[in-house]
Amino acid sequence: MGKLTLLYSREAIAERVRALSETINRDYADKELVLVGILRGTFVFLADLVRLLKVPVLVDFVGVSSYGFGTESSQQITLTKDLQLPVTGKHVLIVEDILDSGLTVDFVLTFLRQRQPASLKVCTLIDKRQRRLIDVPVDYVGFELEGGFVAGYGIDCAEQYRSLPDIYRVDSGEG
């Protein structure tokens, strides 16, 4: 697939997830929180985050598709899995692995706003702001990254490398 270059060690990831959890615990003190993970890349991040939260938490997932098996977004977002939990009147935090173009998160925000939550915020492990096509609000950010493809810690690159415990930049070796 390509050359892997370490970006974030498992220790650095754990520290960022811990810091995010502390902020979320403070912001949602005395509230019940519904975490909505965007499948599939966020499952490892969400699991680690949930274990550190002290506030009452419910967890659900939405599935969306935009990348398929390639590395370029089709820019057509489709819902592949709906929520099972009701979120009307609840405090909802979308949990995403990588916020890149903003298309996926914008789609999920629009989808969830129709369910009329009490509040709706976004948490992403990696924010690639420079690649934004749609400006979406981001309330909690683990790491900011300029660009490139990454994999590991549940994040895939063309369905490869999800099982790696650290996060790597994936260089294609082309060009």
- Span 108-154, pLDDT tens digits: 999 999 999 999 999 999 999 888 999 999 999 999 998 889 999 99
Taking domain 10-147, whether its CATH number is 3.90.1170.50 is answered by no
Catalytic positions, please? 100
Q: How confident is the model at residue 1 (pLDDT cuts 50, 70, 90)?
A: low
Q: Give the tens place of pLDDT for each residue, 64-110.
A: 987 544 455 556 899 999 999 999 999 999 999 999 999 999 999 99
What predicted TM-score, i.e. pTM, was given to this entire model? 0.91
State the sign of the Cα–Cα–Cα–Cα dihedral 45, 18, 152, 136: positive
164 burial via Cβ count (<10 Å: 0-12, 13-18, 19+): middle
